[in-house]
Structure formats: structure tokens, C-alpha cells
Amino acid sequence: MQYALCGVDNRVWEAADFSRLPSAQLSQYRDSLTCVECNALAWFRRASTHGHPAHFCAHHESTCQLKAEYVPVDNDQGDGTEVVDQIQSSGDIVVRLSDDQGGDIDVVERPPVPVGPEGQGGRTHQVRGRDFLSNQQFSLRRVLHRLVQSPDFRRSASTISFFRPDGRQLIHGQVRDVTKAFSEITNEDDGAAKFFWGPITSARRTDDGKIWLNSSPQYQSVSVVIFDDIADRFLDAFGIEDLDDLAGAHVLVSGRCAFSGQRGIKPIIWCGALYQIVIRRYRAANLTVAG
């Protein structure tokens, strides 16, 4: 898209003009962009070294006249063509988390938190034998894909269990209870053992080495913080060469959710292990300047 609406100054910006904003102002404005037609979340792309000019993108509503086709990036390609089929009526969903990167079934992510707030003890369960094999096997990446694409899956009463690489259970419950969209986070989620998911509008690295993944006010300005000791491995795992490449991506993460800011209402999710998180990035199938 060539134009996007900024909620900070309520102005419709042209992409080239937006790119010339002072760095601090651009960083503030880019988290508050929406499509001028359908008001869906939008994000900004700087001019690239490959000759693509500065432009805006958005997760458009299906009826939007400016809707463009977006495809997953790199090793997300397989999920991009996956049909979001109806949830099976029998069999629980099992997600086995892996420390290994790039596996076809297991991804690089998942929460190291037991059932209960971080720092508190919780039961661990071992699933063996035929019961384990009869369940639906999902990767964390597939869970994110379903959450993004299927409202029925988000509301599903199907039981889902997340297991650490050593086989111990981390989180168990109905899909609708143990996954939470950024826009639905409340104070009751403070310290809760859940997976949180939503879109990213910008990313930055602070002087202490942490990586901050930020969402828009439409999604309560949620930030996901990647600790400095895993930050470089996070970038390598998902093939991130420039933090701007994360704009527009969806993230699914488990970690301690806390509330910050002057009024204590900004959700911050702290991610301390690589298997706690998965990223799904997008690019325009056919890049055009004008919407």
C-alpha cells in the first residue's frame, strides 16, 4: 500500500513521506498504523536494498479493496498452503516441543512454565503408549497457523497438551482456555500459564541486548521480550537479518505475563527459552507501491 492511517496524529501518511520521519517519531508512529479502507492492522516497510520502495502492508479484511496476497517467508512456506480443516471430534491435541531447530514436525519453541504461575510448583505428567500415539500431533507452528486462520479453533473445547522435550507436561486444557489473543489479555492473565498470540508491528533491540517485539494499540500494545542470552539464537533460528523483517509477523509465545506502564495496563510477556516461541512472517506475493 502507498498510504496508511496513523492513530497517533490521525493523519493519512504516504509511505515515502513516512520513511523520512525522524527515527524516534517513526518508531512511535509505526505501531499505530491501520489500513485506510478497512481499518485493519498495518505495518511499515522501509525501502530495501533490492530496489523495493518504502511501503505499507496490512492484514486486510476479506472484503477490503486494497487487499493484497501475502505468503509465508522461508521455512514457513509449508503452513501457507495448509487447509484449516475442521477439528477432529475425537482425540486430544498433543504438541511436543523440541530444542532442535528446523524440524518438520517439532518447532523451536514452547513454554518452560509448568501448570501454574512461574516460580510455583506444579504437577508433571508422563503420557505413554497407545494413548499418546492416538492423539492428534501438532507442531507449535501449526497451532499458531490455526489460531490465526480459524475462529472455530480459537473457541474450541478440544483438549490440548504441550509437552517439554523431556516429555513432561507444561500446559494442559481446552484450546479456548490455554491460548489467549493479545487483544483479549486481562489482569487475570498476570502470571498465568498460557500461550499468547498476536501480530507484531515493530521490533527493536535495547542496549542490554534484549529484543522487544511490539504490537499496536489495537492489540493493547503488547510487547514480547526476548532475553539477551537467547536473542542471537532467536534471530538465527528464524532467519532474521533485520529486525524490520519481523513487522507484520504473528507470534505465539508462552512466558510470564506482567503489566507495566504508568497505569499498569501494558502487557509484557517475558520469553526466556527458545522453545517458548514461534514466529510466522509474511511477504507480499506481488509487491506493488500503490494500494
Q: For each of the domains in the chain, give its residue range(s) and CATH number, in order of start.
A: 3-68 (no CATH), 75-283 (2.40.50.140)
Nearest CA among 260, 129, 271 for reference residue 200: 271
> What one-character DSSP code corresponds to residue 201?
-
Kindly tell me the sign of the dihedral angle through the C-alpha atoms of 152, 153, 155, 156.
Answer: positive
Residue 28 CB partners (closer than 8 Å, separation 6+): 8
Give the predicted TM-score (pTM) of the model. Answer: 0.77
Q: Cell 509511505 appears where?
A: 15
Residue 80 phi, psi dihedral angles, 5° rounding = -65, -25
Spatial distance between the Cα atoms of 250 and 143, rounded to a whole number of angstroms: 12
Spatial distance between the Cα atoms of 56 and 14, rounded to a whole number of angstroms: 9
Residues of the chain predicted below pLDDT 50: 76-84, 86, 89-90, 100-133, 287-291
Spatial distance between the Cα atoms of 63 and 2, rounded to a whole number of angstroms: 19
What is the CB neighbour count within 10 angstroms for residue 215? 22
Torsion, Cα of 103, 178, 247, 82 (10° steps) = 50
pLDDT digits (tens, 9 = 90+) for 224-260: 999 999 999 999 999 999 999 899 999 999 888 999 8
List 55's β-bridge partners, or say none: 45
pLDDT score at 100: 42
pLDDT score at 74: 53
List 251's β-bridge partners, or say none: 198, 279
Spatial distance between the Cα atoms of 42 and 7, rounded to a whole number of angstroms: 11
